[in-house]
Amino acid sequence: MKSASVKRFAPCVAALLAGILALPLPGQNSKQAAKFNEYQVKAAYLKNFVQFVDWPADSAGAPNEPYPICVLGADPFGAALDGALSGESVNHHPLIPRRLANAKQATSCRVLYISSDEAEVRRGLSAVENASILTVSDYPEFLDRGGMIQFVIDNNHVRFEISLIAARKVGLTLSSELLKIARSVRMNQ
Amino acid sequence: MSWRIAAPVAEFGCFRSAFQFPWVVGVCAMQIFLVPIFAQETSGGLKGLSLQQLGEIEVTTATKQPVQVNRTPAAIYVITQEDIRRSGATSLPEALRLAPGVDVARIDSVKWSIGIRGFGSRLSRAVLVLIDGRTVYSPLFHGVYWEVQDTMMEDIERIEVIRGPGGTIWGANAVDGVINIITKRAKDTHGALIAGGGGGTNQAFGEARYGGQAGDVNYRVYGKGFDRGPEEHTDNSNFDDWRREQAGFRTDWTPDNHDSVTVQGDIYKSSMGESNRIFSLTAPFSYISNQVAELSGGNVIASWDRTEDDGSGFHLQTYFDRVNRSQSTQAEYRDTFDFDFVHHFKLLRTQFTWGVGARISLGFVPQIVPTYFFNPNRRTDQLYSFFVQDEIPIVGDKLHLTIGSKVLHSAFAGFDVEPSARLLWAPSGKTSFWAAATRAVRTPSDIEEDLTQISLRNTSPLAYTLASSDPNFQSEVLLGYEAGYRRLISKQFSLDFTSFRNYYSRLSSVEVGQPFLVDSSGSVPYMVYPVTNGNGVKGTTTGFEIIPNWKPASWWRVQPSYSYLHMDLSTLATSTDRGTVASLEGSSPQHQVMIQSYLDLPKKFEFSQTYRYVSSLPAQSVGAYHTVDARVAWHPNRHLEFAVTGQNLLQPHHYEFGGDPGPLVGIRRNFFASVTWRQ
């Protein structure tokens, strides 16, 4: 940093830095202190998704009927999912975690998280093809394969993308709030 | 597996990327995905958070593992926003240095030479460049004026670089490659961003953007500007001072689940210092003029995407683009109107896509100096195109064939066809092979049809070269054969290998005519050596690119690459051309090596560096060089970033490309600091 032009422009840069430092920093008092593992955040998302999905009237289930949040394939959440769901309910439906041994068990789920594995994704999606089950995965081509919500990591933040047509095909209504927050909403396949 | 309309950007104006060139979309699969490794602690702290707040939490990610190799049957490389940010690139050409196999050379502070798989030149003559679906290829000089192509670097979502021909989808001039610059949707740029900095050659720069939402409409507006100083001039001419301002907007309207309408635009103004040699028919006959060129322009793009429940859909796009150039030897004022329509639907088991396009370009090129003029100086060029493409699954997910063709009609060259066939074989999620055969054309431009240029050949006795154009000049043609192999070797290591052999014919040549003496009474007699352009050069280019991707740890990514190019051109027996072959062969590097490294350090620091080696360019009198760029950044919180970038660190200055009339301009070692505040 010894070139003459650096010296020449140093005052401008310093002024600019000073100006920007003086701006308020809203992030400093927010929940930034602890970094979470990505799957803790994803587990929290799974719980939140349930609030923004309307199931078709004929499959909403009896009051107090538990809503299983299922994991198919290798479980990346561990205790994080149990923690996120414990004591939580949506419209009087308690949310319960469930690890599936095979894809056939998936039809009893409300939300089906499929591990990021091509074979699991194929089996899982075909098992719930016409069922009103919200499908979620990290698998990179999940939406191409007919999945509904795909997590993506964007600059160390967990975001998600939605395929609206996949949800609509089985009668799920995703609230506009969910669509608004999605990084992208795909309206075709 | 489908590599069709799949990208998250498909509905939102990622025009040719998603609709016209569906296989590109598979690229989104290149995203590296994450596999959980360790058990979690309690996530109690996250329980009360809303969706919005969850999206704002910074997470640590366990070992990243690409779960599947990219399945695009083309040599594609994607420069992500993260790559751009971490490289410290302040301009599009600097960002393009990150793509392996692309030859980016800085001529001076303002001008660049960019080539893909050979044919590097000041205006990148057979590379098609699109910014949000808008072609920035100039029909006057068959190339791209890199110095006027810009946008907010933070608002770029990604740059797709396709090495090799893409004529079937993109049409004319997508011969050596395609560069597709895609900006973020307005939805992804909410809030304010202010950035600025300076130092070294990048004397000062600043930019601001604000985005938000009103009902169904997301929008953003931005403005940016910079002052850039001259590079190293041994003759102290220091002509290449540069100042530029640009502003723009984007609105995305999503009235319902089927439709999305985007309107966007930019406007810019630039004062560019340049050096030109000017010839005259009287003394001093030849002199160098260092002047400031005034460049300005703007564009507006409107597009409408509709998707039906059955997955079919269309994309309709129209744009207007204005270019004003006022330089010491020439001027150009051009209006371009473009219309494109693409429709895709399922046909039996295949994915069928067809489209039509029309472009009308009205150019006015007034004469500034007596020795350089276009006749006619007003010209309206029309380009019409039609294409069909079908993607046929042959064996389930494993084998795919994509065939199609484009038919073009231009006033310059009449009808041209650009067919292609691409085959993808993916025996497993970890391995894929692809092969392609493509025909692409570069249509003639005004300088090959209408330009007359007189230059001094000798002062004593007085002699001139008279270069005139040939209205019978035909399109240059490429027949390209490519093959590629991608393999995910381990969680940390993947490999992308591509090889190509291109057969060029009817390349532009300089045909020498019979000299004659002009002896009009009252002036000094002089000889005239007439030359005209022809289609007298042909030949092949052969080469390969190796692009491994290595991620030794969650906090370190290394991206080395090597590209090899062998150009074997020759002059037709019927041609009198003498210099074109040596000039083309000697202007693109035979070897390029690049190593990018991205390190996440503790305390919210990050460090990135790029090493590059470029072999010599004999026709440009430029020797081989290697150098290093590096950048250190610190994010005290998610709103602020401080960064210091150093470019060309290994030597005080080095040469990359010729082009200015004086001595070669040295590209300086350069340091600058920047600070970015995001809301």
Q: Does the beta carbon of B31 lie under 8 angstroms from any beta carbon of chain A?
A: yes
Edge-to-edge strand ranges of the sheet holding B75-80: B75-80, B156-163, B177-183, B127-131, B134-135
Tell me which chain B residue has its CA closest to the CA of residue A181. B52
pLDDT at A118: 82
- Antiparallel, parallel or unpaired: β B127-131 and B177-183: parallel
Q: What string of DSSP letters covers A49-74?
A: HHHTEE--GGGS-STT--EEEEEESS
- Cβ atoms of B560 and B595 closer than 8 Å: yes
Q: How far is A105 from chain B (nearest CA, A)?
A: 23
Residues of chain B neighbouring A114 (CB-CB closer than 8 A): none
**CA B302 to the chain's CA centroid:** 22
pLDDT at B204: 93
Specify the 3-state DSSP secondary structure of A4: helix
Residue B251 in tokens: 């609105």
Of residues B173 and B217, more confidently modeled: B217
How sure is the predictor about B520, in pLDDT bands with cuts at 50, 70 and 90?
Answer: confident
User: What average pLDDT does range B123-150 have in this prediction?
Assistant: 88
Nearest to A32 among B213, B229, B638 (CB): B638
B319 phi/psi in degrees, rounded to 5: -145, 160
Task: Decide if B197 and A13 are in contact by the 8 Å CB cutoff.
Answer: yes
Tell me which chain B residue has its CA closest to the CA of residue A13. B197
Backbone torsion region of residue B20, taken as left when φ is above 0, otherwise alpha when ψ lies between -120 and 50, otherwise beta: alpha
Of residues B124 and A121, more confidently modeled: A121
How sure is the predictor about B59, in pLDDT bands with cuts at 50, 70 and 90?
Answer: low
d(CA B24, CA B391): 13
pLDDT at B447: 82
d(CA A54, CA A49): 10
d(CA B325, CA B68): 47
Task: Decide if A17 and B257 are in contact by the 8 Å CB cutoff.
Answer: no
User: What average pLDDT does range B181-208 have in this prediction?
Assistant: 92
Residues of chain A neighbouring B188 (CB-CB closer than 8 A): 183
Task: Decide if B8 and A36 are in contact by the 8 Å CB cutoff.
Answer: no
Residues of chain A neighbouring B61 (CB-CB closer than 8 A): 38, 153, 156
Of residues A113 and B27, more confidently modeled: A113
Q: What letter represents residue B64's amino acid?
A: K
Chains A & B: contacts with CB separation below 8 Å: 229
d(CA B564, CA B363): 39
Task: Decide if B57 and A43 are in contact by the 8 Å CB cutoff.
Answer: no
Q: Does the beta carbon of B427 lie under 8 angstroms from any beta carbon of chain A?
A: no
Task: Determine which of A5, A169, A183 to mutate to test the interface with B (most B C-beta atoms within 10 Å).
Answer: A5
- Please, which residues have CB within 8 angstroms of residue B62's CB and are 6 or more apart in sequence? A37, A38, B34, B35, B36, B37, B38, B554
pLDDT at B610: 94
B488 phi/psi in degrees, rounded to 5: -95, 105
pLDDT at A130: 86
Task: Decide if A36 and B313 are in contact by the 8 Å CB cutoff.
Answer: no
Q: What letter represents residue B162's amino acid?
A: I
Task: Decide if A6 and B31 are in contact by the 8 Å CB cutoff.
Answer: no
Q: Does the beta carbon of B649 lie under 8 angstroms from any beta carbon of chain A?
A: no
Q: Which residue(s) pair with B534 in the sheet?
A: B509
Of residues A11 and B10, more confidently modeled: A11
Nearest to B43 among A84, A143, A183 (CB): A84
d(CA A180, CA A165): 16
- Whether residue B70 is predicted with pLDDT greater than 80 in this model: the reply is no
Q: Which residue(s) pair with B318 in the sheet?
A: B302, B339
Residue carrying the six token digits 């979620």: A136
d(CA B64, CA B83): 17
Residues of chain B neighbouring A84 (CB-CB closer than 8 A): 43, 46-47
**Digit-coded pLDDT (tens) for B274-316:** 999 998 888 888 888 899 999 999 999 999 998 887 778 899 9
Q: Does the beta carbon of B136 lie under 8 angstroms from any beta carbon of chain A?
A: no
Task: Decide if A186 and B11 are in contact by the 8 Å CB cutoff.
Answer: yes
Residues of chain B neighbouring A41 (CB-CB closer than 8 A): 43, 46, 54, 57, 59
Q: Does the beta carbon of B41 lie under 8 angstroms from any beta carbon of chain A?
A: yes
Of residues B5 and B88, more confidently modeled: B88
d(CA B353, CA B344): 4
Helix (H) / strand (E) containing B92: helix B92-96
- Cβ atoms of B153 and B186 closer than 8 Å: no
Nearest to A16 among B60, B82, B197 (CB): B197
pLDDT at A188: 59
Q: How far is B226 from chain A (nearest CA, A)?
A: 13
Tell me which chain A residue has its CA closest to the CA of residue B53. A31
Q: With CA atoms as reference, report the closest residue to A41 among B463, B220, B43, B661.
A: B43
pLDDT at B67: 39
Q: Which residue(s) pair with B263 in the sheet?
A: B251, B302
Nearest to B58 among A12, A156, A185 (CB): A156
**Least reliable range by pLDDT among A29-43, A161-175, B12-26, B438-452:** B12-26
Task: Decide if B6 and A48 are in contact by the 8 Å CB cutoff.
Answer: no
**Digit-coded pLDDT (tens) for A111-168:** 999 998 888 899 999 999 889 999 999 998 899 889 999 998 877 788 999 998 899 8
- Whether residue A76 is predicted with pLDDT greater than 70 in this model: the reply is yes
Q: What letter represents residue B416's amino acid?
A: D
- Compute, in degrees rounded to 10, the torsion defined by CA atoms B122, B127, B133, B136: 30
Specify the 3-state DSSP secondary structure of B297: strand
Q: Does the beta carbon of B429 lie under 8 angstroms from any beta carbon of chain A?
A: yes
Number of Cβ within 10 Å of residue A2's Cβ equals 6
Task: Decide if B204 and A143 are in contact by the 8 Å CB cutoff.
Answer: no
Q: Does the beta carbon of B196 lie under 8 angstroms from any beta carbon of chain A?
A: yes
Task: Decide if A41 and B307 are in contact by the 8 Å CB cutoff.
Answer: no
Nearest to B196 among A16, A77, A88 (CB): A16
Task: Determine which of B56, B57, B675 to mutate to test the interface with A (most A C-beta atoms within 10 Å).
Answer: B57
Q: With CA atoms as reference, report the closest residue to B180 among B95, B73, B61, B282.
A: B95
Residue B156 in tokens: 């770029």
Q: How far is A15 from chain B (nearest CA, A)?
A: 10
How sure is the predictor about A32, in pLDDT bands with cuts at 50, 70 and 90?
Answer: very low
